[in-house]
Structure 1
Amino acid sequence: MARSSRRHNHVPLTPQGADLPVGPVDIASGTVELEVDRDDPRAVTVHVNGVPSSYVHLDDPTVLAFEYMQQMACLIDALPAGPLSVVHVGAAGCSLARYVASARPGSRQLALDPDPTLLELVRGWFGLPRAPELRLRAQDGREGLAGLRDSSVDVVIRDAFAPDTTPTHLTTQQFLAEVARVVRPGGIYLANIADRAPLALTRAEVATALAAREVSPESDGVRSPWRDVALVAEPAVLKGRRYGNLVLVAARAGADGAQRRSWLSDVDRPLRVLPVPATRLGRDELATMSAGAAPLVDPPDPAAA
């Protein structure tokens, strides 16, 4: 789910000689509809069950109209050069997957979405890269992560909504533990949070990330799996002046036990010069912001009672 300042209208579109549909198309979870950008007929917004979920430019995968995706791209760009292994929890039009495939040739990506019909449609509509560059798997995000090897991916991106809120089981300590398990040293987790004042959901998700703990053989004890935790958003959204998207960032320590000192500070300037400037809050600011918020946890398992 996202906010974009672009205006759209419904008109036919013909990419690569094939007509894209006009009007709602049935999918397993409801409907998907493509809305053409009135300023650029080669670009569409993908609406899933009425919610704007992706913006796709058919000719240029580096065009990202949603502000939070531009912010995520800044964070991905700051990682060391070369191909990446990326898991997308939530697919829609696969805008960020297309971006990574273009910006990081040779990357291996997996997009998880529980709606098989949606995946089949966007694969055909947008000419998405094929496996092994981009695998599309009709599977719940948490279930999909559970099937991945330890320390096997560089980036996990959570951008899943049903219909306009993130499913609770993709926000809890148990989910984050699964994310931390599959992210390799030096890798990152990015989560899209849609929220409004008083940012109660954001505060809870931040508290969940800050409270994360894992057994650490290196320190012979328990520590946070995340070397750095941050929050990125437009200042007006951070101040609760309007509804919008915030990006939660959690970074694993490097293989030597340390995160590159400049990694997060390196993104501050790129964030400030975006078309809609964004800012970053660090761990200390987040500790103050989330004070009093309870970490999110899975509900008790009735079978264990």
Structure 2
Amino acid sequence: MEGFKDTRIVDNFYQTSSFIPMPTTLIGTLDDNFQTSFGAYSLVFPYYVGSRGYHAMLLECRNTSNTCKHILRRGKCTINFMPDDKKYFKNIVALGFPGDTPEEKRKLNKFTPVDGLLQSEDPEGKYPKILKEAFQVFECTWMRELDNAQDDVYREEYPGPYHSFNGITSKHGAHFILKIEKILLKEKYHNAIINGVNRYNFPPLPTNYGYRDSLHFFESQFSKPLCEDVPKKEVNLDSVKYAAHRADPDIQFTDDALMEIVGVPRIFLGLVLKGCVKWAKENNVNVITSKEMKIISEQRKKK
């Protein structure tokens, strides 16, 4: 381990004992007057990414924070991903200072709260607002039933017992598994997702490194991402044919259809073929040609 030093691991190790890249977000929650309060958070990560029928994020926060209190009571939040902007960062840091009341936070907030999609779809409901300046917003619902956290309530102190991964998880901490109800993207970046991402149409996504040296918050500015082609490996069409036959012997694939997926990594090939078979059965198709493969591909992109 030449060149490395053993570093003491202490609380908040992600910013006291190491360097970990994180997003810059403002979490919107509903206070006791059903007004939206925003707080700055970086411990926000994907949690369930597939194969469960829904998708979820993980938020980690202090269990005495306004955000924790509001999620425990209302069960809803918005995750506003903020772009790289020096003026924005200054206000985000101000909104991250602990101890301010929701009213004080609102006075500090220089961003523009607007109704989200959930509110427009359910005008009589109560939902936290989103921020107009964000480039991306997740509208979320706390999955309080996970880890039996449904009975958690806000307290000034939490003596325990604690949950393992959802709700109140330690003397000072809370974790919230947040089901993603809506993903809202500014049109430019929505089009990039739909039409193809390249290094020139990424959002200006900053990298947050947290609060360090008891004086500063650190964030690196956005630059165009590097782009590297996926290595191309020779794949024997016969092996893809064999996998296709095993997927379902009643659904046939033509060679030109299989050529459409010959470059799929082997670890994902079975999953792709099962998706094709499912589509074929739903559409009363017995033979999948390149025409059907293109239809399947287009439908997959729209999901």
Higher strand proportion: 1
Is this a same-fold pair by TM over 0.5? no
Tell me the TM-score normalised to structure 2 length: 0.23
Tell me the TM-score normalised to structure 1 length: 0.22
